[in-house]
Structure 1
């Protein structure tokens, strides 16, 4: 269509109804206009497009293949218009209609999904994407604008990003329920001597805080199993070994595994989690929402 005007858009609406109803008289009744008005609108649309949309056969209209294709395009157009309407409503409420989140695995099994659910509870018209990646990859994604807001393990290493602390917490020890150490009120790093450890598969084992702590205290372990952090609790439940991890990740995974006991762990092994974002997001309403609701959720974890 060379020139799209209000009149041509109205003609498309008449055509859509005519295609669905199958007769000019039925379309007229549905639209509340005269039958001659329907016929006139169709004739103008065909002239404007330069194609025939219906064949007239014995006082009835038979849609052409071109009409079917135009109808499908109109349905797509209507879907886009509805999506645009939803986006405008989300813009009014949060200042954006789309949010791309990147988060470390340790917060992606429960905490960040709960935040996304809270955001969509406020406005179901929001479009959200969530990617799980290592902390340094989260920062790179936010730096390069492939993500808008990131959840990382502190400290932040990017000087280009704003960083805020959400939570600082200490590790807890997870053991199989039948393990001898489960009878103790707490577990010390020295108790890990000759034990098999389950640890997250870091890019470098030298950066694993539990292995660093064990080495620092001169504790010799029996062995180790490296695994994705999402499987560590399951490995402990199946008596592969012992681990010490942050309580947020543990809490999000323990509901699926009843054969795991939790004990305090000494000496303190500290974990910090935070938000990172670019400067233009500093005063964003959606950032404020995630920050405030995130701290509320973390208070629930502490309880």
Structure 2
């Protein structure tokens, strides 16, 4: 049994006669009959009965044709899948991001991507930056956004955004009357800080040291920008927050002021190593860049 015999058999079943099948296939009638006879010998049962110079499918022939059609439908699905992969890349995109960008840039990028590739599925995970890095390096995620304190060994990386942090304080806070906040303004003030290994925290501590300012009173440390927003809004203390982290959150209970000198919170776009970018990945990166 070979693919040519199956093709001829399917043509005869659909056309109803050997002559019509031969015409459709562009071969001679004896050639069609020969291939059908060879297929029957290979299968071990008759596919057609010959009745008054006509061929009539046997019950076995009808059953076998149902299997052939199912196989053809499977091939059609494979061809359609191949076309989608060729045109758009794999149909599912796996993205991981740090919390600070999960309520602003990334949702905007996902919306743009859905408009561009409505048939694609996005799996989006919000994780600590080190987990984003590990997932991208191991191939679990196609694209990652992480803070710049990660170990970039084993990933392809580039700077994505590096906004200047704002000083956030609760409504009615004494510092809310100032136009800008400086290092000395925060001396002894209750403060919601990022953990010591956070690069933005390290830059902030360095600025305080270089200014000779007494440090604020750190009352909570966290890795999540959303947690800083929530704690400041509740009146726990003052904090430094990326403008991207604030977007998407209720700002009605916050007062925001520039902090000088600038403290930049830099985020990286990371990709798996030694892996060509699919069209789907390239399209999502374009959407991320447009959403900044």
1-side partners of 2:76 and 2:107: how far apart? 26
1-side partners of 2:172 and 2:289: how far apart? 35
1-side partners of 2:130 and 2:172: how far apart? 37
CA-atom RMSD, angstroms?
Answer: 3.5
2-side partners of 1:82 and 1:43: how far apart? 22
The answer for the alignment partner of 1:224 in structure 2 is 219
The question of whether the paired residues in 2 share the 8 Å contact of 1:175 and 1:243 is answered with yes
The question of whether the paired residues in 2 share the 8 Å contact of 1:99 and 1:128 is answered with yes
2-side partners of 1:119 and 1:101: how far apart? 12
SS in structure 2 of the partner of residue 187 of structure 1: coil
The answer for the alignment partner of 1:189 in structure 2 is 183
Shift of the 223–139 alpha-carbon distance from structure 1 to 2, 3 Å rule, reads closer
The answer for the alignment partner of 1:213 in structure 2 is 204
Unaligned runs of 5+ in 2: 1-5, 11-57
The question of whether the paired residues in 2 share the 8 Å contact of 1:111 and 1:252 is answered with no
Give TM-score, length-normalised by structure 2: 0.66
Question: Pairwise mapping of residues 1-303 of structure 1 onto structure 2 (< 5 A)?
Answer: 88=82, 90-154=84-148, 157-200=151-194, 202=195, 205-207=196-198, 209-210=200-201, 213-214=204-205, 216=209, 217-227=212-222, 228-253=224-249, 256-298=250-292
The question of whether the paired residues in 1 share the 8 Å contact of 2:183 and 2:213 is answered with no
Whose radius of gyration is greater, 1 or 2? 2
Q: CA deviation at 1:41?
A: 7.7
The question of whether the paired residues in 2 share the 8 Å contact of 1:97 and 1:127 is answered with yes
1-side partners of 2:93 and 2:131: how far apart? 18
2-side partners of 1:134 and 1:148: how far apart? 16
